[in-house]
A = this chain, B = another copy of it.
């Protein structure tokens, strides 16, 4: 590389650092709004967020950015692997943002905000018709965007690429079909089992402050670094990374259902441990973040379900929970508790679903979105199709659109292609789980003796450290030696719930 190019590279990295600085400021502004910013300042705060966001967007499509891309791309093979990856990310974003005519994008942003308002009202009144005209326009815009961006194969691939680069309809179709077939059958068996867990003790009073103290204990044991993070209260819990030395977790407390905070904190803690352990040399670059929505979700779900709802995790921690609780578990055995927190209950609402039925909620949305973007169905058909699929896959029927097709905000925001990532997260997590068990054969022993740190180390090594240096399916292949394979998820669910609901076939049964 000639000295001239070196100089451009340095300028580029400085430009990038400015962008990540704006992003860190934005993240703090967001966190603060959700955890305790005085309400009378929110209006002006929204202006501040608007100014910084627009600045960041402008920088991603500026002439300066174009000139960095033009100057550095011809020398790509001479750049360090990290700088080459940063350039790739910037290029991708540049083209994605630049291909949409400015005026059209502005109109879309305004529409988005109107659509979200309309959705909110429509959901409240359970009237899809109020939302329909907005959703139709959103879909029209998105279809045009897809044409601007271009795609290979199915048009829906352009949307999947936004959240899970490398994952296409060709990857998902066979996987989701297999999982769906298994789950529909398996969940119906569970439904018929006479061995239902007892759950009444889950809903007794558990003081908020004690929930907080217990959650903090568990976060520490998981290896969440409290000198590089903090736990705060909010309405809708989230994790947010300012930089790897400052990754914050928020949670919500319900004194009549401690599961909300405890499993919620473990979930967000999983996200946070990911961000805290990204290689520090990536700080100040766009690579210093989880590589995709799906891999991120795999980490939170891994901790929440594969660890936090594991029998051996509670063998170690049930006594601690008892000490913080209000006495409601005094006559409950570990086994009863374990079964209670793993209750399977097909329902209408995605965010309340258990790990066993969750993927069916996702698959319904995936099938609908794909059909919508292939012009096989229209927006006006959505409520009917929605209700049919819920009946068919989960055996439940919404009483109204509020608890049906209107339940999620995603479509109002134009976030089509996002839902599959949630489902991928579960399947990635299962695949990691069995791969981890090969490296740590006594995983149950580690859980029972509280050595959660070994688990974190495995994830650090195989997943966290890379940030966006590897794409999601690369991470999966390198960590597990395989492509995406839904058999792991199926095996996990079958083993776990056959046991919990005593679904052993007669010949396998040991009484």
**Chain A residues packing against B (C-beta within 8 Å):** 17-18, 21-22, 24-26, 28-29, 32, 36-45, 47-48, 51-52, 55, 225-230, 242-248, 283-284
Contact = CB atoms under 8 A, between A and B. Distances in A.
A248 B48 CA distance: 17
Contacts of A244: 41
Nearest to A26: B25
A37 B246 contact: yes
A32 B230 CA distance: 12
A44 B283 contact: yes
A24 B38 contact: no
Contact of A284 (B18, B21, B44, B242): B44
A201 to B, nearest CB: 32
Copies of this subunit: 2
Contacts of A247: 38
Contacts of A24: 44-45, 48
A327 to B, nearest CB: 26
Given A25-B29, A28-B29, A51-B21, A43 B230 contact: no
Contacts of A21: 47-48, 51-52
A38 B228 contact: yes
Contacts of A48: 21, 24-25
A213 to B, nearest CB: 16
Given A24-B45, A48-B21, A51-B17, A38 B246 contact: yes
Given A21-B52, A32-B28, A40-B225, A45 B230 contact: no
Contacts of A29: 25, 28
Most B CB within 10 A of own CB, among A21, A52, A244:
A21
Nearest to A225: B40
A387 B247 CA distance: 49
Given A32-B32, A39-B227, A40-B225, A47 B246 contact: no
28 contacts: A17-B51, A18-B51, A21-B51, A22-B51, A22-B52, A25-B48, A25-B52, A28-B28, A28-B29, A28-B32, A36-B230, A38-B226, A38-B227, A38-B228, A38-B247, A38-B248, A40-B225, A40-B228, A40-B245, A41-B242, A41-B245, A42-B245, A43-B245, A44-B245, A45-B242, A45-B243, A45-B246, A47-B284
